A = this chain, B = another copy of it.
């Protein structure tokens, strides 16, 4: 990659506010196999910033900070952002997350043309997830 390519690249990372972020991180480990890569705790135990990796996909997490309008889905009453996890094995990820306590919002189903298999989940902290396998990209 040339230097100019490197300079122009942007990444977009979802930063989730969770009520009780410390417990939420444990849930994401169990549900999605997330690995904790960074945590900046406050003396109170509150998580001001944490980073996890779901098989290479970065997700940032913090507790609520109402004074700067950082609020969880439970406080706001929902979420207008769904996190789409594109994985080679959607069935495995979906069932593991449900076993860990995620709620099924829409069961796994194949798209009309067979190219996509998707399901939707809501986690115990109120965040919304779509899990998807793009079959055209799987190497078998």
State which residues 1-32 of A face B: CB under 8 Å. 3, 6-18
Q: Is the CB of A57 within 8 A of B17?
A: no
Q: How many copies does the complex hold?
A: 2
Number of interface residues of A (CB under 8 A): 50
Interface digits, A45-72 against B, CB 8 Å rule (1 contact, 0 not)?
0000000001111111000000011111
Flag if A79 contacts B76 (CB, 8 Å): yes
- Do B14 and A14 touch across chains, with their CB atoms under 8 A apart? yes
Write the chain B residue with the least CB distance to A87.
B10
Whether A83 is near chain B, meaning CB under 8 Å from some CB there, is: yes
Q: Nearest-CB distance from A34 to chain B (Å)? A: 10
Cα of A42 to Cα of B106 in the assembled complex, Å = 21
Which residues of chain B are near A10, meaning CB under 8 Å? 54-57, 85-87, 93
Whole-angstrom distance between the alpha carbons of A93 and B139 in the complex? 37
User: Whole-angstrom distance between the alpha carbons of A14 and B60 in the complex?
Assistant: 12
Q: What are 6 A-B residue pairs whose CB atoms fall within 8 Å in the complex?
A: A3-B139, A6-B88, A15-B83, A70-B82, A71-B78, A79-B80
